[in-house]
Amino acid sequence: MGYRLKKASAALRGAMDKALREHDLTVPQYSCLELLDEQPGLSNADLARGTFVTRQSANVVLRGLKDAGLITQATSTDHGRALPIHLTAAGQQRLHGARSAVYAIEQRMIESIPAQRMTALLADLDTMTEALGA
């Protein structure tokens, strides 16, 4: 079971890597842009948790996004130490183009399984995740 999940994950990652390369993004960068679009103002730590990487890895990803002008980060805050991060207009635009490519990959994957089986599969994956305490 674990091998098949890893194999499916690797196939998805490979397809996403290829598609996102055309948008000059990596999968972790794309994931950060998606999270920031859904929840503006997240911190480095929030993005690390949301993209399943270490804080150190998230810092590298965020540095690349900042250097490309796709995100901005406050230099200070009135509350706590976490500095909020936001998408720039260029980040929104890049995300929009990349999102279409990623959604096309997901659609190709979804269409390979009948709808009623897909619903059950997603429920089963959630159950397995919960069983492992994640």
Average pLDDT of the residues in 97-115: 94
What is the per-residue pLDDT across 88-103, written as a single tens digit (0 to 9) for each?
999 999 999 999 999 9
Q: How many domains does the chain have?
A: 1
- Three-state SS for 69? coil
pLDDT number for residue 78 = 66
Distance CA 74, CA 86 (A): 9
What is the domain extent for residue 48?
2-131
Residue range 21-27: average pLDDT? 96
pLDDT at 134 over 80: no
Contact 121, 75 (CB under 8 A): no
This model's pTM is above 0.75:
yes
Q: What average pLDDT does the chain have?
A: 93
* 3-state secondary structure at position 41: coil
Distances (CA, A) of 105 to 29, 40, 45, 111: 17, 25, 28, 10
CATH number at residue 22: 1.10.10.10
